[in-house]
Amino acid sequence: QVQLVESGGGVVQPGGSLRLSCAASGFTFSNYGIHWVRQAPGKGLEWVAFIRYDGNDKNYADSVKGRFTLSRDNSKNTLYLQMSSLRTEDTAVYYCAKILYAFYPIAAPPFDYWGQGTLVTVSS
């Protein structure tokens, strides 16, 4: 069955860096785009970033552009979100989510499978 497992969350000071991973199984990882969506404590969902199935297209929310970088290793079925210059407002549970359609060229929803999330806390 499809599984997405996030890891790498933790507590980091403002200005610090963290790398999140999303390990995929149960589907042909290299055929699907993946999104990151975050949820601040007690708040709603916020889209963060997208990487196309082949890694050749990436989109970022304005709130993280220039600070977050997405990459994927299709040989390891793993996605990475490198976060730097972290701010207190980046505190959230970060989910990776798979696009429904294979070879989807754009960053549009729907997201048919989500991981369980990993908590990032930015605090001094």
Q: Are 58 and 79 in contact (CB under 8 A)?
A: no
Q: Say how many residues touch another protein, by CB under 8 A.
A: 23
| Between 44 and 124, CB nearer to another protein | 44
Contacts of 78 (CB under 8 A, 6+ apart): 21, 22, 23, 24, 72
In this structure, what is the dihedral angle of CA atoms 17, 40, 55, 77, given to the nearest 10 degrees?
A: 90
Q: Applying CB under 8 A, does 2 fall inside the site for another protein?
A: no
Identify residues 47-76 at the interface with another protein (CB under 8 A).
47, 50, 59, 61
Q: Which stretch binds another protein (CB under 8 A): 9-17, 18-26, 71-79, 94-102?
A: 94-102
* Most distant pair of Cα atoms in the chain: their distance: 42
| Between 10 and 110, CB nearer to another protein | 110
- Contact residues: another protein, CB under 8 A: 35, 37, 44-47, 50, 59, 61, 95, 97, 100, 106-112, 114-117
